[in-house]
Amino acid sequence: MAKIGYIGLGIMGASIARNLMKAGHELLVHNRSRAIVDQLVSEGAKAALSPKEVAEQVEFVFTNLPDSPDVEQVVLGKNGIIEGAHEGLIYIDNSTIKPETARSLAGELEKVGIDALDAPVSGGDVGAKNGTLTIMVGGKQTAFDKAAPLFQSIGKAWVLVGDSGAGQIAKVCNQIIVGAQMVALAEALITAQKAGVDPSRMVEAIKSGAAQMWTLDVKPPRLFAGNRQPGFKAYMQHKDLGIVMDTGKTYGIPLPMTAVVQQLFTAMLEQGNRELDNSAVIGVYETLANIKLDEPLK
């Protein structure tokens, strides 16, 4: 079993950390908010006061943080992971950040002997809790092979996509599709509701056909139950779509559909719903169509 550090214990990170512990690994944790650290310590983890302290004591150190600047600060900042460098340390980032940032961090860490894997995940809170995430990885084959047993503890699929940054490029592609799915689901549910058809029956009718997708399996039951809590927070989906659009600019890729999707999430945030689930973008359509998903059918 390995000695592992995990930094960033939000909705996803805390569940991933728990699954690493369940697999028998020794876990050292650090987080800006202390409450979740204390909870994980009560479950068997140990606490550290800084990313440097985490890195000094482990074989693998994970991060799962909101955005590129947060990761840069934890890795390269004062008392950062880079200051805890030692032979054999492998850095694994489960965050979704800019591919260029992932490549830059890998280059800086390589200078002090740390192998870096950008390893963003997909599967939401359900996948994180159940250990069924999909993990998209960029980095060296040797580091990937060493990390594979850890990926097995938290995911159902893990693929080395290419060199550093390739995992984040794969996540960009993933978020193009996820964002479009959330918007397509919202349009479909509101179309059925507005046309006087039971949306739950509509979903039952189409979910095994050509429209079948994870989103159609997982999100409608929550929406029908009035549950719009995350999940995956809308402001994080919006941030990820910003990374998608930035990547399009960097490589000269036209992304007209994603631009519209991003604008719909911008509208959702402006409605004050940034902390809701990404599927709650349906609220924008409820406003546009002047109907609520839970209204009685006419």
Average pLDDT over residues 193-208: 97
The domain limits of the chain are 3-162, 169-289
pLDDT of residue 296: 84
Convert the pLDDT of each residue in 32-58 to its tens digit. 999 999 999 999 999 999 999 999 999
**For residue 15, how far is the Cα from the chain centroid?**
12
Convert the pLDDT of each residue in 203-237 to its tens digit. 999 999 999 999 999 999 999 999 999 999 999 99
The domain 3-162 having CATH identifier 3.40.630.30: the answer here is no
Length of the chain counted residue by residue: 298
d(CA 292, CA 170) in angstroms, rounded, equals: 35
Structure tokens at 118: 């950008």
pTM assigned to the model: 0.95
**For residue 196, how far is the Cα from the chain centroid?**
36
What residue type is assigned to position 170 of the chain?
A
Local confidence band at 297 (pLDDT 50, 70, 90 cut-offs): confident
d(CA 40, CA 139) in angstroms, rounded, equals: 29
Structure tokens at 193: 């509701």
pLDDT of residue 295: 85
Residue 171 known to be catalytic: yes
Catalytic residue among 22, 111, 129, 171: 171
CATH of domain 169-289: 1.10.1040.10
pLDDT of residue 11: 92
